[in-house]
Structure 1
Amino acid sequence: MACISYVFKNLCMFLLVVAVASRSGTWKIFDVRKYGAKGDGKTDNVNQDAWINFQYIDNLIVTGHGTVDSQGSHSWSSTNFDMNRRLPANMAFDFVRKSRINGLISLNSKSEHLNFFCVYHFNISHVNLTAPRNSPNTDGIKIGMSSNVKIRDSHIGSGDDCIAILSGNTNFDIHNITCGPGHGISLGSLGKHKEEKNVEDITVRDTVFNGTSDGIRFKTWESSVAEITVSGFLYENIKMVDVRHPINIDQKYCPYPPCPKLGDSHVQIRNVTVKNIWGTSRNKVAVNLQCSKSFPCKDIQLIDINLTHNGSDGPATALCENVKGSARGKMFPPSCLNSACR
């Protein structure tokens, strides 16, 4: 069954063609106009969490080179933006298996461009997701409770995370991504809700971060209520171009200070390898590993790191708190890791 939300308030109407391959090899075309969508420039075609939503489908293919433009600038303005108001994603996929999306261009989303929940064996490739640096909450790809996902050969620029890896994700391969602007490829935020699940076996490789606030980023809430584990992460062959925080583990995440200091994060980060990372850091602290005092990071491996900072405040440095691991190969800035927690 394909549940396609009414689409596009104040957008130029276009014909969305969705090809669904059934087991018999036949195809079915869904025209959004048959589901009530009107392109008259007046009708509100939404009232749900996404302009276009696919649910409970196997063997779905969304392909082509069409453009979805949400014209979100009105929603981003300081007079209209409300953190407590849920704005629609450009496209959402819930409980979709053995499927793929490729070739899509998504512009100026009001919220995230692509939202995935409980998808399995899903391939995302050759997508171009773009929103300005100053557009709030416009994540490129936000994904949770999913497994066996591949994201490749894509450009993502946003006012938030290029890719947000949330609770319950396992076995991801992310490669050949150009991210910028945005907040990097982020784990989390995690720890805020009791029902959260472990995140395991995530690979990010052959990727460029250009002018982003963060590159490799872990963010967990201080005083978190969930006791979960994050493990089996590999970051390899990654270029940083003028990135404010190239390598950043932040277990005191607080996006809207001041925040109460009630306790440590209960999210355990372990078995993380960061290998062959090079480029430039906008911040003097190019490698920031601030882990939880109650649940220190374990088995953090840094291999061949070369990050430079050309600011007037001196060369790049590294900061370690409550982290156990090791470093080898070329290491600049000099590593702050040793065999004991600091």
Structure 2
Amino acid sequence: MAILSRTGTRSIAFVLCLAWFFCQFKVGLAKGLHKVPDPSGAHPAAPLGGHQKPPGPLPAGPGAQHKTHGAARLGTIFNVLQFGARSGARQSQSQPFVRTWRAACDFNGPASVVVPPGVFTLAETVFQGPCKGPPPTSITVQIQGTLKAVGDPSEYSDKYWISVEHVNGLLITGSGTIDGSGPSVWKYDDCKGNTNCASLPSSMYFNEVQNAQIKGLRFLDSMGFHMHISNCAEFSIIGVHINAPRDSPNTDGMHISRSSKVKVLRTTIGTGDDCISIGQGAVDVTVNEVTCGPGHGISVGSLGKLPDELDVNGVTVTNCTIIGTENGIRIKTWPGSAPSKALRMLFSNIVMDNVANPIIIDQNYGSKDSKPSLVKLSDITYEDIRGTSSTPTAVSLSCSPGAACDNLMLNNINLQPKIPTMRLDATCTNAKVKYIGCQFPPPCAPHPP
């Protein structure tokens, strides 16, 4: 066996260190030559919020940047700053936002609109498709900053602030905020005493949108509804937070109508009206792991106010918590309505915490019309509903004499008084009910039409 001298050992170590240093230098040089663009989409030479165009041509037209590696699913980035949007400006930035959307929507490839951190004031804004990106997501919108509504009702010609229309394959995601500036306009809402009132604008209105996901956003203080989903299909709302004061008027968390296969998952809603309202034409709606309160609870309806309304068919509400609301699970229909149906509903594993009217059907809602409601309710199951009621009547099934409720089932209902000395009861009118398992308060006797 050869034995190296101390001098020889040092020489070999020096050569190995030199080789290692040379390899690291080559790797660093290669990384520098393939640097990934800034995720914000802003060119280093462009001042934040300015109108300066980035030097040199960008791929896919002005304002676009390619993304690679971990952000590949974002495709080509279209940053609103590169299209003239300015954070902190008091004037509406709707035009730069629409220009950004148009460029991304018309791009033949995966494309993303990016709203970086900052506050961007918008007036009435319409984002229209169809978009040219490949399925399953034709366009992505990543919101990191705050969109703030112009707080002047005269700026809005329609019933929305931001509208997204005619898109197949939409993803809106991010940790940003949609601020509806509601406190500046709620004083103009007179719907409490006027059933024919004009609604204030919804913060986000989706019309004819398919295969969509809305994920992670925060909605704040809408003028009207926070979200309105109409004529949509395969539409999911995941991990969204909605907040407005308890006394804010008609600020539903979300209203779903004329839409199918809508899912609301892992979402928190506190507002001044229904946390979720499911309107006419809703088919196969799923609500799971939603926390609701304050507000008016989770509602099906109101139904029957307008002529020629479509049926509601298939509503599943499961694993939800309702806290301090004016109603729990509510079905509401207008008297004097045209004939329609609402059927196949399941309300399961729901916790009520200090809730008024935890289980309520009200077919005499919103009017003193002497004609009965003709909305037929059937195949409705309440199971594993538990918690506390703040009102003496914990279960109220007030069905229409013109269209009695059929095939109602109450399975394992355990509602206790919030105040221990309060006595709870259940009432039924024109309801055909089947009871299974525990029933507290004790069931009311079925009352046929």
Contact 1:93 1:115 in 2 (8 A): yes
Report the TM-score when normalising by structure 2.
0.67
- Per the normalisation by structure 1, the TM-score is 0.87
Residue in structure 2 matched with residue 151 of structure 1 by the alignment: 264
Secondary structure, aligned partner of 2:328: strand
Alignment partner of 1:301 is 2:409: yes
- CA contact under 8 A between 1:156 and 1:178: conserved in structure 2? yes
Structure 2 residues without counterparts, runs of 5 or longer: 1-87, 126-146, 192-196
Q: Cα offset for 1:47?
A: 3.1
1:129 partner amino acid? I
Inter-partner Cα distance in structure 2 for 1:24 and 1:268:
48
Alpha-carbon separation, structure 2, partners of 1:60 and 1:33: 23
**Alignment check: 8 A CA contact 2:255 2:276 kept:** yes
Partners of 1:205 and 1:126 in 2: how far apart?
A: 16
Partner residue, 2:437: 329
Greater strand share, structure number: 1
Q: How far 1:22 moved relative to its partner? A: 9.4
Amino acid across the alignment from 2:189: F
Alignment of 1:200 with 2:313, yes or no, is: yes
Mapping of 1:1-342 within 5 angstroms? 26-29=110-113, 46-77=156-187, 80-83=188-191, 84-224=197-337, 226-254=338-366, 259-311=367-419, 314-338=422-446, 341=448
C-alpha deviation, 1:334, in angstroms: 0.6
What code does the residue aligned with 2:383 have? Answer: K
CA distance in 2, matches of 1:9, 1:88: 22
Q: Deviations over 1:204-256 (max 9, x none)?
A: 000000000011100001122x20111100000000000011000000112xx
Taking a change above 3 Å as real, the CA distance of residues 242 and 9 of structure 1, as seen in their structure-2 partners, is farther
Amino acid corresponding to residue 368 of structure 2 in structure 1: P
d(CA) in 2 for partners of 1:235, 1:23: 44
SS of equivalent to 2:164: strand
* Structure 1 residue 69, shift from structure 2 partner: 1.1
Residues 201 and 231, structure 1, Cα contact 8 Å, conserved in 2: yes
3-state SS of paired residue (1:59) = strand
SS at match of 2:185: helix
- C-alpha deviations, 1:236-277, integer Å up to 9, x for none? 0000000011000000112xxxx4342111011000000000
Q: Given that residues 284 and 313 in structure 1 are in contact (C-alpha distance below 8 angstroms), is that contact kept between their aligned partners in structure 2?
A: no
For residue 74 of structure 1, report the CA deviation from its aligned partner: 2.4
Indicate the RMSD between aligned Cα atoms, in angstroms.
Answer: 3.2
Question: How far apart are 1:341 and its partner, in Å?
Answer: 1.6
Change (3 A) 1:26 1:327: same
Check conservation: 1:11, 1:39, Cα contact below 8 A.
Answer: no
Name the stretch that deviates more: 268-277 or 16-25: 16-25
33 and 275 in structure 1: CA distance in 2 versus 1, 3 angstrom threshold: closer
Q: How many residues align?
A: 328
- Offset at residue 76 of structure 1 (A): 1.9
Assess if the C-alpha contact under 8 Å between 2:123 and 2:156 holds in 1: no
Unaligned runs of 5+ in 1: 1-7
Amino acid corresponding to residue 309 of structure 1 in structure 2: P
Local SS of the residue matching 1:214? coil
The answer to whether the Cα contact below 8 Å between 1:58 and 1:98 also exists between their aligned partners in 2 is yes
Structure 1 310/99 Cα, relative in aligned 2: closer, same or farther at 3 Å? closer
Which has the higher mean CA deviation after the structures are superposed, 310-319 or 262-271? 310-319
- 8 Å contact from structure 1 (residues 326, 337) kept in 2: no
CA contact (8 A) 1:54 1:93 kept: yes
Task: Give the secondary-structure state (helix, strand or coil) at the position aligned to 1:73.
Answer: helix
CA–CA distance in structure 2, aligned partners of residues 274 and 22 of structure 1:
47
Give the Å deviation of 1:337: 4.4
Letter of the 2:408 counterpart: I
The letter for the 2-side match of 1:29 is V
Q: Which structure ranks higher in relative contact order (CA pairs < 8 Å, sequence separation ≥ 6)?
A: 1
> Which deviates further from its counterpart, 36-45 or 208-217?
36-45
C-alpha displacement at 1:46, in angstroms? 3.9
CA contact (8 A) 1:12 1:39 kept: no
User: Which stretch of structure 1 is more off in the superposition, 310-319 or 61-70?
Assistant: 310-319
Maintained 8 Å contact 2:269/2:290:
yes
CA, structure 1 residues 9+147, in 2 after alignment: closer, same or farther (shift >3 Å)? farther
Please say which structure displays the higher CA radius of gyration.
2
TM-superposed deviation, 1:284 = 0.4
Q: CA deviation at 1:316?
A: 1.1
Residue 94 of structure 1 aligns to a residue whose secondary structure is strand
The 3-state SS of whatever aligns with 1:245 is coil
